[in-house]
Amino acid sequence: MSKLQRIIIIALVAFATMITRFLPFIAFPANKETPSYVKYLGKVLPAAVLGLLVIYSLKDVSIFNEYHAIPESVSIAVIVLLHFWKRQMILSISIGTILYMLLVQFIFK
């Protein structure tokens, strides 16, 4: 790859990044009312994305393997309990991830 090609690629990536950052401010200026469908998407997409993440994370888990999905089930239970107790998503996901990794690495080898 030549130096010119590298410069062009870097410029295109920088331009694409800037467009994704500036486009919402251009499409929805502060002095105009935000469209109702954008407000609706802002309400429903976070839960939908988390649900999709959970489904994607558990797609290869089988209850018929040697550990019967015990590490996953324990971690999910801890995440749900922590979230209902503290109502802090980053705390519950972090603790659940750490617990899952500890279970998989040290207990369910």
pLDDT digits (tens, 9 = 90+) for 17-47: 999 999 999 998 989 999 999 999 999 999 9
What rounded mean pLDDT belongs to the chain?
94
14 and 44 in a single domain? The answer is no
69-91 per-position pLDDT tens digit = 999 999 999 999 999 999 998 99
Q: Which domain holds residue 39?
A: 35-61
pLDDT at 107: 94
1 and 41 in a single domain? The answer is no
Looking at the structure of the chain, the number of domains it has is 3
Report the amino acid identity of residue 68.
H
Question: What radius of gyration do the chain's Cα atoms show?
Answer: 21
Q: How many CA atoms lie within 13 A of 46 on its CB side?
A: 5
The model's pTM is: 0.66
Residues 100/72, Cβ–Cβ less than 8 Å:
yes
pLDDT(94) > 90: yes
pLDDT(109) > 90: no
| Residue 89 burial (CB count, 10 A) | 13
pLDDT at 66: 87
50 and 86 in a single domain? The answer is no
DSSP H helical segments within 1-109, as ranges? Answer: 3-27, 36-57, 70-86, 89-102
Residues 80/105, Cβ–Cβ less than 8 Å:
no
2 and 26 in a single domain? The answer is yes
